[in-house]
Amino acid sequence: MAEITHRFVETNGIRMHLAEAGEGPLVVLLHGFPESWYSWCHQLHALAEAGYHAVAPDQRGYGQTDRPSEVTKYTQLHLVGDVVGLLDALGEAQAVVVGHDWGAPVAWNTALFRPDRVRGVVGLSVPYLPRGPVSMLTAMRAALGDGFYMAYFQTPGVADAELARDVPTTMRKLLYSASGDAPRGAEPAQPVVPPGRGFLDIMVEPPALPAWLTEADVAFYAGEFARAGFTGGLNWYRTIDLSWELTAPWQGAPVQVPSLYVAGDRDLVVNFPRTRQFIGALRTFVPRLTKTILLPGCGHWTQQERPDEVNRALAEFLAELP
């Protein structure tokens, strides 16, 4: 099995920690919330053994990467800038960029903003959502109210303190409740926080960990967030409106590089209002989409719940690129 090594690079004014394995064409793996490079362990090994240089950074605000204190330093322009700077630091002109959860918009936007640097793009869980007439936060508030979890995350310090109160419990609840292993009806139909309650109140404690998740996995995530806190990751949510304002020049612009979309059919994101409509029409906004894959019974943690299927899909996509 290929060895995973670690190092730091300077990119876009921050010091970024990354895990990497293998040699060959570059594949950048971007994690989501609340995760880290570690969520790509299975893919780092598989891609390295398939002849690729796989790199999974701790993104801005996470793990061992710098965590700027200003909320405004977490816009999509900053996050895409981090990826472009990472390619520069690695001496690479281009890469395939793969993103899961919040990493998916960063991957899609890297392809949108800098198609000259992206050979191909893969989104896991979150499809490409073209800029609409209002921000995603405004649209979801209109559909689901101020209890929608992204709205709940807006107030500095509130979700930060709740999630940090008992980090191992936080990670167990989130990883289980959003997975395909949570009993139907156990996970919320939509992640809406009732008045006077907290985000973790709508999650459930697992009776036992599912087969894809070990106590060592939970302990790793818990250790990372106990040290770094959740504020860096939450700041991504707090710049949704600002990112929408800043991306006005790309209104209606399609993603023009070869693309792949993979998600679980039990993913809460897939079942947000209107998301399935976007998935059905994805080729309209991503004309070079090669395939859409919905994994039956899979929840939100796509590459961790179904590593073999994701690895196979990535290998097929990468092999078909020019």
| Active site (catalytic) residues | 101, 237, 300
Backbone angles phi, psi at 130, to 5 degrees: -60, 150
Question: Could you give the CA distance from residue 73 to residue 66 in angstroms, rounded to a whole number?
Answer: 11
In sequence order, the 6+-apart residues with CB closer than 8 A to the CB of 80 are 106, 109, 110, 113, 114
Question: Could you give the CA distance from residue 274 to residue 199 in angstroms, rounded to a whole number?
Answer: 23
Looking at residue 258, the DSSP 8-state letter turns out to be -
Pairing of strands 5-11, 14-21: antiparallel
Place of tokens 């976007």: 278
Task: Please answer whether residues 14 and 40 qualify as being in contact, where contact means their C-beta atoms are separated by less than 8 angstroms.
Answer: no
Question: Could you give the CA distance from residue 251 to residue 319 in angstroms, rounded to a whole number?
Answer: 32
Q: What tokens appear for 183 in the block?
A: 């009993």
Question: Could you give the CA distance from residue 322 to residue 197 in angstroms, rounded to a whole number?
Answer: 51
Task: Please answer whether residues 14 and 65 qualify as being in contact, where contact means their C-beta atoms are separated by less than 8 angstroms.
Answer: yes
CA distances from 124 to 32, 81, 201, 208 (A): 10, 21, 26, 26
Looking at residue 114, the DSSP 8-state letter turns out to be -
Question: Could you give the CA distance from residue 31 to residue 29 in angstroms, rounded to a whole number?
Answer: 7
